[in-house]
Structure 1
Amino acid sequence: MSPVPPGGTGTDAFRQSAALISVAERAGYERYWVAEHHGIGHRNAGSAPEVLVAHLATLTSRIRVGSGAVLIDKYRPYKVADTFRVLHSLFPGRIDLGVGRGSSPPPVEAALGGADDYDDDPMFAPLAAATALMAYREQLAELLAWLSHDFPPEHPYAAYPLSPGVAGGPQPWLLGSSAESAVLAGQLGMRYCFAAFLNPRDAPSVLSVYRAAFRPSSDGAVPYTMLAVSAVCAPTDEEADLLRAGAELHARRVADRDRAVDLPLPTPAQALAQLGHVPAPVTAEPGHWPRHLSGSPERVHEQLALISAESGAQELMICDFVGDHTARLRSYELLARRPAEQTRGVPHRYGSS
């Protein structure tokens, strides 16, 4: 998300993203994704993932780099596909194209071209939702066709392949936090990433919905799933719980609709002072996962193992809400140090965001 550091700017945020991907590549992470957010530039600098993907891929040599996610509902599929085909041409076999939907403050949404005249009229809300979902499915289908050059011969787009002669392409993913997105991903044969840090309770059932809806495609013959999980790691459980104060404060601000949610994430000490208490230890149990995990490597890996086993996800994407750059880098380094006795049941592939 390229969070703006306390007292910093977007430039500082991008420099820290570059530092984090260097740590992730050395530590053996599988992939690194950057998000797209608009209208909250005081908190998250990442508004143009295609630009940041190109920059980060240039700084690395092995790790996959991608978007998590391009807001496909705001753009024409052709432009998104063309941009990521070019990125694939520059960095073959290393580019992921994660797409999804999102909302911004109304004026920004209007500027992006994503607002309809009846969006705010309750009478038309069901119609608007159904229409948007159908349009979304059509956008995704067209995007996939452009990426794989899979239009029927008689289709007017068939004569205009993107990056002709370049083998392969970016790996497409659909990101979501609902059963609707899971069904779409399955029907289109896409890889699917579920935002468990937003909605952990429904994660296992939504992934089951995806698997049931899955239809083989040119991208894959079998379902492939990922869970995005919020986690922070430190040498001790107590220190990690302190670092989780930023995540808990952010969750409270969202729940209270506090406008401070759009401000830069505070340092752990500032978050602790504003929260008013040390976050209690959290435990992932069957059927009940906390939104934010924290602990020593042993405790966090035990929790990730349970989440992995219960959901059946092939990969976990780790994100965080830590307003201390040094502690953040250390967290990802510690997460990557998995003792042999801790790896049973934990996916062999991690990503960072």
Structure 2
Amino acid sequence: MTTAKKISFGVLDFGYRAKNINSLSIIEDVIEYASSADDLGFSRFWISEHHDPNALLAWSNPQPMIPILAGITKNIKIGAAGVLIGIHNPYHVATQFKLLSNLFPGRIDLGVARSVVNPFAIQCVEQREDVDNNTMWETIPEKIKNLFHYLVDEDEIYKNGTGVVIPPYKGAIPDLWMLGSSYKSLDKALELGANFSRSIFHPGSDKESRLDELHIFREQYLAKHGRLPKINLSISGFCSKTSQKAQKIIKAQNMTPERHTIGCPNKFFDEISKQHEMFGIDEIILMNPSHNLTDRIESLQFISELFHLN
């Protein structure tokens, strides 16, 4: 293990837990997990949006969870990763996240995802049976454009008192993020002035580093917006006391170890350092697949100590 450049760590949580815990207990578990991440110096705590036929699903839309998590923490940024904008009204999303951004100044992230959605959820939203992901995909570019418009172009929305205010008037907006499993959305992030989070653990993710594309994006972004974007890398994995324990946790859930960054502290540190160099990104967002709260918090403790997060 060698000394590495400063790396920040955030947390991503899907709300998935073991079958012997009910959905409300899962929320209690997530609250404790977020509080631990805050105490240990982690940068962000993001929760996902999923609409699954899963009786243990703790939430589908993450937005009601965000003020709860922000309220029980002090420093860590809380956000959605991400809002499945295809099934949401951009105006409603803007009103909710702008208010949260001012209730918890500097601590709210709004991530936008263009992922596929359970077709039945689309039908529930649209109140029609003749819609599917193809229908939803057609609406996404305009919805993303409108969402950013409602948040960024406040005076245009106000229309000299003849339009509408998204409260609080002249208030701060959340940090805006585009999410993707490749760099195909970099052009949209550049156009809108959004930060970018790239996943390399979702099925079908592009795992090539593509550093040249990232360097070009940063240069173009700086020229267009006068600032550099925030960019992070989302991975699945955890740090355990021994590599054997890490392997055991993964195999107990019938997962493939190769898809996860796991190991004892020394091994985990070396793997993260490699990813840091390979992808040129100084912030990692970690999705811990373990269902056990004690194991997940232990992983946070190891990572906090290894990378001097506090």
What is the TM-score with the length of structure 1 in the denominator? Answer: 0.74
Structure 2 match to 1:234: 240
The reply to whether residue 78 of structure 1 matches residue 91 of structure 2 is: yes
Distance apart, 1:220 and its partner CA: 6.5
Structure 1 CA distance, aligned partners of 2:125 and 2:112?
A: 16
1:169 to 173, 177, 182: 173
The reply to whether residue 22 of structure 1 matches residue 22 of structure 2 is: no
Change (3 A) 1:30 1:162: same
Check whether the contact 2:154–2:170 (CA below 8 A) recurs between aligned residues.
no
Structure-to-structure mapping, 1:314-353, within 5 angstroms: 314-338=282-306
Change (3 A) 1:211 1:11: farther
Check whether the contact 2:201–2:234 (CA below 8 A) recurs between aligned residues.
yes
Change (3 A) 1:114 1:145: farther
2:306 is paired with a residue whose SS is: coil
Distance apart, 1:102 and its partner CA: 2.7
Structure 1 match to 2:68: 55
Check whether the contact 2:119–2:132 (CA below 8 A) recurs between aligned residues.
no
Distance apart, 1:21 and its partner CA: 0.6
Unaligned runs of 5+ in 2: 1-13
1:230 is paired with a residue whose SS is: strand
Structure 2 match to 1:259: none
Distance apart, 1:150 and its partner CA: 4.6
Structure 2 CA distance, aligned partners of 1:178 and 1:157?
A: 42
The reply to whether residue 299 of structure 1 matches residue 267 of structure 2 is: yes
CA shift digits 1:65-100 (9 cap, x unpaired) = 111111111111110010001111211111111111
Structure 2 CA distance, aligned partners of 1:27 and 1:11?
A: 25
Check whether the contact 2:182–2:206 (CA below 8 A) recurs between aligned residues.
no
Higher relative CO (CA 8 A, sep ≥ 6), structure 1 or 2? 2
Distance apart, 1:206 and its partner CA: 8.3
Structure-to-structure mapping, 1:177-256, within 5 angstroms: 177-198=181-202, 199=204, 201-205=206-210, 208=213, 211-212=216-217, 214-215=220-221, 221-245=227-251, 249-250=254-255
Structure 2 match to 1:68: 81
Check whether the contact 1:197–1:228 (CA below 8 A) recurs between aligned residues.
yes
RMSD: 3.1
Identity over aligned pairs, percent: 24
Structure 1 match to 2:163: 159
Distance apart, 1:181 and its partner CA: 2.3
Distance apart, 1:34 and its partner CA: 0.8
Structure 2 match to 1:3: 16
Structure 2 match to 1:142: 146
Check whether the contact 2:19–2:56 (CA below 8 A) recurs between aligned residues.
no
Unaligned runs of 5+ in 1: 121-127, 252-278, 280-289, 341-347
Structure 1 CA distance, aligned partners of 2:71 and 2:230?
A: 28
Distance apart, 1:211 and its partner CA: 4.5
Structure 1 CA distance, aligned partners of 2:223 and 2:167?
A: 21
The reply to whether residue 41 of structure 1 matches residue 54 of structure 2 is: yes
Structure 2 CA distance, aligned partners of 1:181 and 1:157?
A: 35
Distance apart, 1:200 and its partner CA: 5.4
Distance apart, 1:328 and its partner CA: 1.6
Distance apart, 1:221 and its partner CA: 2.2
Distance apart, 1:209 and its partner CA: 5.7
What is the TM-score with the length of structure 2 in the denominator? Answer: 0.83
Structure 1 CA distance, aligned partners of 2:86 and 2:69?
A: 25
Structure 2 CA distance, aligned partners of 1:110 and 1:48?
A: 16
Return the letter of the residue paired with 1:51.
P
1:93 to 61, 85, 106: 106
Distance apart, 1:231 and its partner CA: 1.0
2:247 is paired with a residue whose SS is: helix
Distance apart, 1:138 and its partner CA: 2.1
How many residues get paired? 295
Distance apart, 1:297 and its partner CA: 1.6
Check whether the contact 2:48–2:83 (CA below 8 A) recurs between aligned residues.
yes
1:180 is paired with a residue whose SS is: coil
